Amino acid sequence: MSTNVQTLGTTGTRASEGAAAIVIAAFLGIGLVFLAGFAPASALHNAAHDFRHTQNFPCH
């Protein structure tokens, strides 16, 4: 019985928790892709240079 209550509780919070997870993952993902593919700082550009060319991010 106690397990049932627990399961219902987690299902109830799942929607909002899921939405938060999606938003966090999306922002983090965009941030990382920006860092690897678009960040204009020349040190970052030079470090990621070959990756940017290969993955067809506009480079230079």
User: Tokens 């204009």 appear where?
Assistant: 40
In whole angstroms, the minimum distance from the beta carbon of 11 to another protein comes to 12
Under rule CB under 8 A, residue 18 binds another protein: yes
DSSP 7-54: HHHHHHHHHHHHHHHHHHHHHHHHHHHHHHHT---HHHHHHTHHHHHH
Under rule CB under 8 A, residue 17 binds another protein: yes
In whole angstroms, the minimum distance from the beta carbon of 2 to another protein comes to 12
Residue 1 or 54: the one with the smaller Cβ distance to another protein is 54
